[in-house]
């Protein structure tokens, strides 16, 4: 009988063929055990406990590198509810009047500002003066001038200012950016960005010029502006724009309902975009080059993002955007990581310069040079 001898020969041959493989490397794909994270953790206080603040807080529960440790709110009942839900100590709870005292709290590293647009400028500057890193929702401010003041304040205080560009870490988005950088799309010719939805409650802050700084452009339109920039890999040199308003009662003076805008880039590529608060089913990016194309639809929603290119469907996995964002931002602040697409304050100012130009083009009816 040579059964035992044959078996031993097979085992010996296998060990020769794969002498350096560990047990983990012999697992089936997807079965590799995750090693527990044992690095630095960014301790974050969230300012503004509304719907998106709650979404970020919930997503952070799965974060490895960022931890929710504090809250800042003008509503005591929300503070109490968050204390219970997220196990936040009383000493890490503040309101809008006293949050400057975080400078004396060594248990908070950064503050994520998720308040109405008009409040970002002063709140981020106060956070910087308290010696804490600032993460700010987009748009970062109402104007590029305000945004630059925020950047300058954070630099002066030697703290970092990041902007909540969650799509800059989204895998399908990054794959298209990689393809463009590697020349797989050829020379980029055209980008289309459609960003819109039908907004509800007419009394909400997003329809208040003093709090929002505008209308759809200051909320959903910024996605197409930002997307055009990272998809083409260029900064626009001119814009044109036209506003359409069908409901002047709901969309009062200074609150834009729909704006169609175009951008031109140094290479000759052009972008055609739509920002609206009056149409649903508008969440699409399309990038066209001489050698191929890429499409995302939905392109900026909370996910999963779906996409395809001339090579086929994009199959990168979906992870909760805010969880990934907070892990990556912790890496930027604590470890000096450099993201593929920037998320710093300067990136926010670039978008604000374009928004300023779009509003100027709407007002004058002329092409505005950047």
Q: Reply yes or no on whether 223 is catalytic.
A: yes
Whether the predicted pLDDT of 21 surpasses 70: no
- Phi then psi for 314, rounded to 5 degrees? -85, 130
Mean pLDDT of 87-100: 98
pLDDT for 237-282, tens place per residue? 999 999 999 999 999 999 999 999 999 999 999 999 999 999 999 9
Place of tokens 């912790």: 330
- Identify the three-state secondary structure at position 62: coil
Q: What is the pTM of this model?
A: 0.90
What strands lie across the sheet with 258-264, from one edge to the other? 312-313, 307-309, 293-296, 282-289, 188-196, 270-276, 258-264, 238-244, 368-369
> What digits encode the pLDDT tens for the residues 275-312?
999 999 999 999 999 999 999 999 999 999 999 999 99
3-state secondary structure of 309: strand
pLDDT at 28: 37
Rounded Cα distance, 214 and 363, in Å: 13
What integer pLDDT is reported at residue 34 of this predicted model?
60
- pLDDT recorded at residue 43: 98
> Is the pLDDT reported for residue 367 higher than 70?
yes
Cα distance between residue 120 and residue 137, in whole Å: 8
**Among candidate residues 157, 105, 158, 109, the one with its CA nearest the CA of residue 129:** 157
**Mean pLDDT, residues 140-162 taken together:** 98
**pLDDT band at 184; cut points 50, 70, 90:** very high
pLDDT classification of 26: cutoffs 50, 70, 90: very low
How many Å apart are CA 288 and CA 260, to the nearest integer? 19
Asked if residues 259 and 245 have their Cβ atoms less than 8 Å apart, the reply is no
Do the strands 307-309 and 270-276 form a parallel or antiparallel pair, or are they unpaired?
A: unpaired
247, 257 contact by CB (below 8 A) = yes
pLDDT at 223 over 80: yes
Cα–Cα distance for residue pair 138/117, rounded to 1 Å: 8
Q: Among candidates 144, 361, 182, 336, which has minimal Cα distance to 264?
A: 361
Q: Which of 65, 112, 132, 138 is catalytic?
A: 138
User: What's the pLDDT score for residue 2?
Assistant: 45
pLDDT of 125:
99
Residue 89 has pLDDT above 70, yes or no: yes
Q: What's the average model confidence in pLDDT over 340-362?
A: 98
Kindly list the structural domains of the chain, giving each domain's residue range(s) and its CATH number in brackets, ordered by start.
42-166 (3.40.50.720), 167-317+344-369 (3.30.360.10)
**What does the alpha-carbon distance between residue 77 and residue 79 come to, in Å, rounded to a whole number?**
5
* Catalytically annotated residue among 94, 165, 223, 359: 223
Mean pLDDT score, 326-349: 98
Q: Does 65 qualify as catalytic in the annotation?
A: no
Higher pLDDT pick, 16 / 112: 112
pLDDT averaged over the chain? 93
**What's the pLDDT band for 20 if we cut at 50, 70, 90?**
very low
Q: What is the DSSP letter of 142?
A: S
Nearest-Å Rg of the Cα atoms of the chain is 24
Kindly state the DSSP code that residue 151 receives in the 8-state scheme: H
């Amino acid at each position: 009988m040579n059964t035992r001898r044959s078996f031993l020969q097979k085992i010996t041959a296998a060990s020769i063929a794969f002498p350096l493989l560990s047990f983990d490397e012999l697992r089936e794909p997807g079965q590799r055990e995750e090693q527990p994270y044992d690095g630095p953790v960014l301790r974050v206080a969230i300012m503004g406990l509304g719907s998106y603040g709650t979404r970020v807080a919930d997503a952070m529960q799965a974060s490895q590198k960022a931890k929710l440790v504090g809250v800042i709110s003008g509503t005591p009942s929300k503070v109490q509810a968050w204390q219970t839900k997220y196990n936040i100590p009383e000493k890490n709870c503040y309101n809008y009047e006293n949050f400057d005292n975080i400078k004396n709290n060594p248990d908070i590293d950064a503050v994520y500002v998720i308040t109405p647009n008009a409040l970002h400028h002063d709140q981020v500057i106060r956070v910087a003066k308290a010696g804490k890193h600032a993460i700010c929702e987009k748009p970062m401010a109402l104007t590029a001038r305000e945004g630059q003041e925020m950047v300058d304040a954070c630099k002066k205080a030697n703290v970092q200012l990041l902007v909540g560009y969650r799509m800059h870490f989204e895998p399908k988005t990054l794959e298209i950016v990689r393809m463009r950088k590697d020349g797989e799309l050829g020379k980029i010719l055209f980008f289309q960005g459609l960003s819109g939805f039908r907004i509800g409650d007419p009394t909400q802050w997003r329809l208040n010029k003093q709090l929002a700084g505008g209308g759809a452009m200051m909320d959903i339109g910024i996605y197409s502006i930002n997307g055009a920039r990272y998809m083409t890999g260029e900064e626009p040199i001119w814009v044109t724009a036209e506003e359409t308003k069908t409901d002047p009662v709901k969309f009062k003076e200074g609150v834009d309902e729909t704006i169609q805008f175009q951008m031109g880039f140094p290479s000759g590529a052009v972008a055609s975009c739509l920002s609206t608060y009056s149409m649903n089913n508008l969440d699409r990016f399309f990038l066209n080059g001489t050698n191929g194309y890429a499409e995302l639809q939905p392109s900026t929603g909370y996910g999963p993002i779906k996409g395809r290119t001339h090579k086929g469907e994009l199959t990168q996995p979906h992870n909760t955007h805010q969880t990934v964002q907070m892990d990556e931002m912790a890496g930027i602040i604590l470890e000096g990581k450099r993201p593929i697409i920037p998320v710093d304050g300067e990136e926010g100012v670039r978008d604000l310069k374009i928004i300023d130009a779009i509003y100027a083009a709407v007002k004058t009816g002329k092409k505005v040079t950047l």
